[in-house]
Structure 1
Amino acid sequence: MRERHAYAVWTGAVLLTITALFHFTGYFEIPAARSDAGLPSFFDASLRPLWLFASLHWLLTAAICVLVTKAEPVIARSILLSCAAVVILDAMLLYWFIGPFIGEALLAAVALLMVIGAYRSPTGVKAQGV
C-alpha cells in the first residue's frame, strides 16, 4: 500500500505535469524571431527558449517529487519542501509580472500539495519501525 504522503505528492506531480504540458502547447504559437536588420533581436530570439524552459522545469520538478516518495523520509521531506518553494516562487513571480490567471492558481495548488505531502511523510524513529 502506498504511503499516505505519496497521494498528495502524486496528485501534485500530475497537476504540475498537466500544467507543464498545457504551457508547452503555447510554444508553437510563439512567432519565430524576425530578422528585420539581419539578426533577430535578443528578446525575440529568447522568448521561445524561455517558454520551453518553464515547461521542462515543471516536468523535471514533477519527476523529482515522484521519485523522492521512495527516499528516506527526512530526505524526502526536505526535497519536497524545496520543490514546493521553487514552484511557489514561480507562481509569485508570474503574479508579479503578469497578474492573476489560472496558471498561478495551479502552481500554488501544486506547491500546497507538495507541502502537505512533505508534512504527512513519516519521520524519525517511528518511521523506521523502532
Structure 2
Amino acid sequence: MTVAGPVTEDERMTLKAAAFGAVFLVSNADPGLLPMVRESFAAADAFAGSTGLVNEVLTTGRPPRLAERGPAELEAEVLPALRRAVEILRAKAPHEVDNYQDTVLGAALRAAAAEGGVNAAEAATVSKVRAALGRCD
C-alpha cells in the first residue's frame, strides 16, 4: 500500500537516496565485496523494520542511483541530502522525523557492525551521518 501524502516523488527520492547513501558511506569506510554484501543485508533489515511513511519510501519502488564517485565526493553529496531529508520531513511529515532518523542511523550502525564490529573509519563515518541527521545524542 502506498501512503498518499504531502511528500512529492522527488522528495521521496531524496529521502531514499540519503538513507541508502548513508549506508553506502559506511560500507565504503571499510571496503570489500563480502563485507559490502553483509552490510547491505544488515541495513536492509533496518529499513524493513521501519514503519509508516519511512517504511513505504525506503522499501518500495526503484532503488536510488548513487553516482559512482570517490569517497569525498560521495560524502559531499550524501551528508547534505541527509540534512535535506530531515528538513523535508520536518516541513511535511513532522511525525516521521524521529522514525527516519532512527531508521537511517540504525541502518548505518548495523552496516558498520556487520563485519566483525565497528572499526575506527566506520565509527567516524557513522558520527558524520549522525550529525547530518541532527542526532547528536
Scaled to the shorter chain, the TM-score interval is 0.3 to 0.5
Q: Which has the larger radius of gyration?
A: 1
Larger helix proportion of the pair: 1
Normalising by structure 1, report the TM-score: 0.34
Name the TM-score, length of structure 2 as normaliser: 0.33
